[in-house]
Amino acid sequence: MYNEQLKHELSKRWNTLQTALQRENGDALLVTSNVNLFYVSGRIFSGTAYIVPDQEPLFFVRRPTGLKGGNIIYIRKPEEIPGHLQERGLPLPKYLFMESDSLSYNEYVRYEKTFSPERIGNGSRLLREARSIKTIYEIGRIMRSGVLHAQLYERIPSLFRPGMTDLDLSIEIERECRRLGSLGLFRIFGQSMEIFMGSLLAGDNADAPSPYDFALGGAGQDLSLPIGSNGTPLKGNISIMVDMGGNFTGYTTDMSRVFSVGKLPDLVFPSRIAALGNGNSKPSVIFSGIVRGLSSSFSSAPAPMLPRKAHQMRFQPICTTRLPFAVKSCPAHSICRMVSSYTQGSSSAQSSLAQTRKRRSCSPVVSALTAAS
């Protein structure tokens, strides 16, 4: 079912969950959702994983066929699981943890009748706590996804063509993302959360509210998915926020950049000073300075071509603790290009940029894209 290298990694995860079960005095944890089955087995399969405190998990599999291993048991339906447990000398759990946050009511009742435990606990919490602390292997997978994600963003300027709409550019970015190896699927927890590969917002469309819990909105193309690009033409000194997800390894990275077609209004640039701040400042201090600077500017001189939600853009780093510069303009070319710089407590932006490129950092920045005027 998995190679030996992955088994060593999975053993760490099993130990974490077993320790959590022992702490809660639980007898078993039933794992049923795709993302958590991937966490405990290293693959997606139709079935369940059954974890007890004192031995390796059992994997009850419906599909695919052909998986091999002493702890793999093929079943047709969940009601067969208790019989297999008894064959292995395992008692039915009195205190069973299930994924209460993701199971449907019918599934919950079905498993409850199958195992007849005296007590049921919320296994979603145990799994969420375990997954919140990444192993070295997981960090490596995230970093690999981040490197490919950064390569995608480096190519965005070359994807722009005069006459494009926000949707046109978004499609080209999505295509390039897939060419780089993106799996194309972005899992989001919560029934009220859904999106395609990410969001690209230009101009006043950034002000369109969204019913979802994302930080940004956008009207979208249809009321069935009211988020993201809406066909705004990319012309006339307009700002573009690109927030595309990256899933190249099964682990998702998130990256946001701000570009511009032409020159943005002067009111944007006071935020650059706030973003520079003090090299030793904490992220919350610098971010609050950006919010104050932009809020005062917008209240005194609104700019219709700049998203009024710009102060809500997330500057939280993905894999590092470096903080972003604000928008930095670059000379106009017929072929667009990107200029990026980072704050690292150094007065030399050029040196910082060179170091960042060398390390292939996936830390968010704010960049500028200019087209021929």
pLDDT at 373: 22
Q: Is the pLDDT of residue 254 over 50?
A: yes
User: Which of 3-7, 37-41, 265-269, 310-314 is predicted least confidently?
Assistant: 310-314
Query: Which amino acid does the sequence have at 38?
Result: F
pTM, two decimals, is: 0.74
CB 253 within 8 A of CB 149: yes
pLDDT of residue 340: 25
pLDDT of amino acid 191? 78
Bigger pLDDT: 18 vs 325 = 18
Helix (H, G, I), strand (E, B) or coil at 199: strand
Across 21-35, average pLDDT = 98
Give 106 or 327, the one with higher predicted confidence: 106
Using CA atoms, how far apart are residues 146 and 154, in angstroms rounded to an integer? 12
The whole-number pLDDT of residue 367 equals 32
pLDDT averaged over the chain? 78
DSSP letter assigned to residue 303: -
More confident residue, 110 or 291: 110
Give the mean model confidence (pLDDT) for residues 349-354.
36
Q: What span, in angstroms and rounded, lies between the C-alpha atoms of 323 and 315?
A: 7
Q: Long-range contacts: 147-150, Cβ < 8 Å, 24+?
A: 147/360, 147/362, 148/180, 148/181, 148/182, 148/246, 148/248, 149/246, 149/248, 149/253, 149/255, 149/362, 150/255, 150/360, 150/361, 150/362
**204-218, 286-300, 307-321, 333-347: least confident range:** 333-347
